Structure 1
């Protein structure tokens, strides 16, 4: 724990008192230099908070509003936003510098600027966020659930809903049954997939997958057999769609190989630390499609509201994600809890 300084918000920014946060594996990857290697680093990008103060030019938000920080904006006017083909806004892009849009930081420690993982640092009592990188939500939402929706669960859900655009009656494999993978299973169920296969080396994830709509489970820790081999043995010809949620480099090729020749589609949403990965050319040469995805193709202003509404109606068993909890002062324990085989999400109580 460190005592830090948090500046007032500038013109188009708000200062937020964090109410709750959670741990995402991207936070862990950031310690190893992804998405940037700027230090000292303030961690956290999932969470929910309440606006404490607003900048001079902020008109659509006020003190007391509950918000989710996001790491993609949505201007609604740029070429990408208008096209409806992608969620990657050109005006408010993913920030990989660890700084605010003006390339400065509102956080400092002992006189030195603090960087953050993406658009802010939610593992702090107070954060400053540019208004283009947050979404207002209903204050009655469960704080833990809101934190899951701000990144992990929504990424997987969107991968099935927005990126894969899964067709009713089709078959789907999901590699990795963490929060992102369970979101992908939930999205595949919503889209009407007839067979949803969860693939994980941890057999304890089988029960979690079934709670979200998984129809079959494949234990991938089998000697001399790849994940794609196991999927094809089970299905015969592979699946229509595969959502890769682990970020483990070799599984990028495996996700393609697990799909059907000629028509298969794989969506890559997992984030590891290897930015250059080995890739099997034959996997894609035989007519399959590989698509990368950030935040599962979810548009922050448009689509997160839909997911929040479904959350409020309890259409997802998000309580199944809430496996561990730590008070903010004991945040160091969160890293150890992630190693537990039954851990899905660690909630940080601010």
Structure 2
């Protein structure tokens, strides 16, 4: 089958047509990928930011059709349309049982690109190929634990359903599951790529009355207004904290979201939040990053909280149906999030667009 394979960190991907994929084991599902988004976390992996082994297939924002199921799988069958998740919680470990499936023991193993036994489903010219971000979605088929495969209603457009796996699950989940934004809250969203725009939408749906969106790219600020931002800021052209306080008429917002993965933005978020507020870390940081710009006294004296957000504090079997209900009700807008579709063969051009900040979400069609 075809796939886009990285054989060196930072190098262009190679499109191959001789990748081998195994049949699903008991408890696993093989899915024929139809669409997969292009995300900054994929770029992070391709640059070696997560220390992944090579060769590797990235792509973790995917949807498709079930091709074959392993023994014991009953919730999906061949031919079913599905959305995938890079965070397949097991439902049995301590974290899952305590209501924190985003910290699932087994999901951490699966996200490493390996199965629990240390193998992968892919072989290429005699070599093992790893699944980047726990999925390997830039290939015509992949194999996942059944917990990572969520059925979607027939007729759901899969070029939009694929967004559930990352930008929607992460961004909307950051609002509802991590920060628990309430009606009347004021929020600041820093970074307006796919995840940031989903945070804007989630905040609107949650009833936030002031949604301030910040990004240096004018087109993304305009898109944020269409998605529900009440105010937009060019951080290159103003003092963000002063502007936020002026817009909110007080000490700042209740929740600030860093959708980039930047220690500087976290420090800015601490200053832009009101006492008792939260700063939510949503973007992927570099391994060497530290929050040295934040003084503990800023947190202690005003009881501010820094919250880690792992893929929107996700539990896909719970969240995907809820987000699709929001979509069907006209509350959550998926189609405008996809600003371009490209065939798999144009994956390197899609990555160039990502690096240049062009568009919101490019979706690869397989």
2:8 equivalent in structure 1: none
- Compared with structure 1, are the counterparts of its residues 59 and 167 closer, same or farther at alpha carbon in structure 2 (3 Å cutoff)? closer
Aligned partner of 2:252 in structure 1 is: 238
Where does residue 123 of structure 1 map in the other structure? 138
Of 212, 215, 221, the match for 1:206? 221
Structure 2 match to 1:59: 74
Change (3 A) 1:201 1:324: same
Task: Name the counterpart of 2:234.
Answer: 219
Deviation at 1:8, TM superposition (A): 1.1
1:186 corresponds to which of 201, 205, 221: 201
Compute the displacement of 1:96 (Å): 4.1
* Aligned-partner Cα distance in 2 for 1:233–1:296: 29
Aligned mates of 1:184, 1:11 — CA distance in 2 = 37
Q: How far off its partner does 1:233 sit?
A: 4.5
For 1:73, the equivalent position in structure 2 comes to 88
Write out aligned runs for 1:145-160 (5 A).
Answer: 145-160=160-175
Q: Give the whole-Å Cα distance in 2 for the aligned partners of 1:197 and 1:10.
A: 47
Q: 1:101 to 1:66 in 2, by over 3 A?
A: farther
**Aligned counterpart, 1:270:** 283
Residue 303 of structure 1 aligns to a residue whose secondary structure is: helix
Taking the aligned partners of 2:69 and 2:19, their CA distance within structure 1 comes to 20
Tell me the secondary structure at the aligned position of residue 308 of structure 1: helix
Whether the 8 Å CA contact 1:48–1:69 is kept in 2: the answer is yes
Task: Write the deviation string for residues 258-317 of structure 1: whole angstroms up to 9, x where unpaired.
Answer: 1013x1111111113244323312432332101001111121111121112222333222
The runs of 5 or more residues in structure 1 that have no matched partner are none
Contact kept, 8 Å, 1:92 with 1:132, in 2: the verdict is no
User: How far apart, in 1, do the equivalents of 2:357 and 2:54 lie?
Assistant: 31
> What residue is the counterpart of 1:302 in the other structure?
318
Higher fraction of helix: 2
State yes or no: 1:38 paired with 2:22: no
Q: Does the aligned pair in 1 maintain the 2:36–2:363 contact within 8 Å?
A: yes
Cα gap change, 1:66 to 1:250, in 2 (>3 Å): same
Q: Quote how far apart the aligned CAs of 1:91 are.
A: 4.6
Partners of 1:68 and 1:103 in 2: how far apart? 25
Q: Say how many residue pairs are matched.
A: 347
Indicate the RMSD between aligned Cα atoms, in angstroms. Answer: 1.9
Task: Tell whether the 8 Å contact from 2:37 to 2:361 is kept in structure 1 after alignment.
Answer: yes
- Paired with 1:144 and 1:275, the residues of 2 have a C-alpha distance of 35
Distance in 2 between residues matched to 1:345 and 1:63, nearest whole Å: 29
Q: CA deviation at 1:340?
A: 4.7
- Preserved CA contact (<8 Å) 1:231 1:258: yes
Structure-2 residue corresponding to 1:47: 62
Give the structure-1-normalised TM-score.
Answer: 0.93
Give the whole-Å Cα distance in 2 for the aligned partners of 1:86 and 1:129: 17
Is contact 2:84–2:162 with CA below 8 Å preserved after alignment? no
Say if 2:268 is the partner of 1:254. Answer: yes
Please, what TM-score do these two structures have when normalized by structure 2? 0.89
